[in-house]
Amino acid sequence: MLAYLDGILTQVQPGICVVDIHGVGFLTQVPLAQTYAELKLNEEIKLYTHYYVRDDAVNIYGFLSQEEREFFLLLISVTGIGPKNALNMLSFTSPNMLCSWLIQEDVASLKKIPGVGVKTAQRLILELKSKVSNLSWAQPEALVSAVPAAQSNSLVDEAIEAMLSLGYDLRQARIQVLKAAEAKPEANVETLIKDALQQMVKL
């Protein structure tokens, strides 16, 4: 098994990067919500990986933290959830937020993830709720208390809609608004938008 890649980041685009290790470039798929947002071109990087092989494809999935990879592996252990589905979920929001939704059995929030319907959300909760509750690194309860329910739903949604009206991509808008919400739990919509825009400028 390919446990990790340690080399120079030579190419980056949304969801994909290339890690050069002694002249060999490894094309790696990465989630948008955390790993991709922190990648820096031409710098040394270490990605913890999952090497996926099937009859018609060979793919490498990379994560900046072992915790994010661990959660990815939990997701693909669920019936009917493949690597692409799991990567999509981790591109939508952070593992801690997903843990919170699973523990709270928050089907409504899980349904906001593209490609996840009611049945898939219920299956995720059924198969993962007890497992994520026992993760040593996860802090879903702290996250829930830190981000008020009103903010994690209506205020965040309003801020994202405002970002979309300005022409920003849905995934990037959600990533930056969620980051702003976690950094400032009591922020109003205007502050969330302002902070998200500042973060987008830095990308």
Whether pLDDT at 150 is above 60? no
Look at 142 and 121; give whichever has higher pLDDT.
121
Match 């939990």 to its residue by tokens. 74
The tens digit of pLDDT for each residue in 73-109 reads 999 999 999 999 999 999 888 888 898 889 889 999 8
The closest alpha carbon to 61, from 124, 138, 5, 21, belongs to 5
Question: Residue 145 contacts by C-beta under 8 Å, 6 or more apart in sequence?
Answer: none
Look at 156 and 201; give whichever has higher pLDDT.
156
pLDDT given at position 171: 66
Whether pLDDT at 24 is above 50? yes
Rounded to 5 degrees, what are φ and ψ at 25? -95, 125
pLDDT given at position 165: 78
Look at 71 and 185; give whichever has higher pLDDT.
71
The closest alpha carbon to 79, from 120, 137, 131, belongs to 120
pLDDT given at position 64: 94
Whether pLDDT at 149 is above 50? no
Specify which residues 51 forms β-bridges with.
60
CATH superfamily of 67-138: 5' to 3' exonuclease, C-terminal subdomain (1.10.150.20)
Give the pLDDT mean for 149-173: 71
Q: Within 10 A of 25 (CB to CB), how many other CB atoms are there?
A: 14
Question: Residue 168 contacts by C-beta under 8 Å, 6 or more apart in sequence?
Answer: 200
Give the pLDDT mean for 157-172: 78
On whether the CB atoms of residues 15 and 33 are closer than 8 A, the answer is no
Give the end-to-end CA distance of the chain in Å, rounded to a whole number: 33
At residue 188, the 3 state secondary structure works out as coil
pLDDT given at position 115: 87
CATH architecture under which domain 4-63 falls:
Beta Barrel (2.40)
Q: How confident is the model at residue 25 (pLDDT cuts 50, 70, 90)?
A: very high
Give the pLDDT mean for 115-121: 94
CA Rg, the chain, in Å?
A: 17
Domain boundary assignment for the chain: 4-63, 67-138, 147-202
The amino acid sitting at 65 is S
Whether pLDDT at 140 is above 50? no
Does domain 147-202 match CATH 1.10.8? Answer: yes
pLDDT given at position 179: 81
pLDDT given at position 153: 54
The closest alpha carbon to 129, from 89, 106, 102, belongs to 102
Same fold, 4-63 and 147-202: no
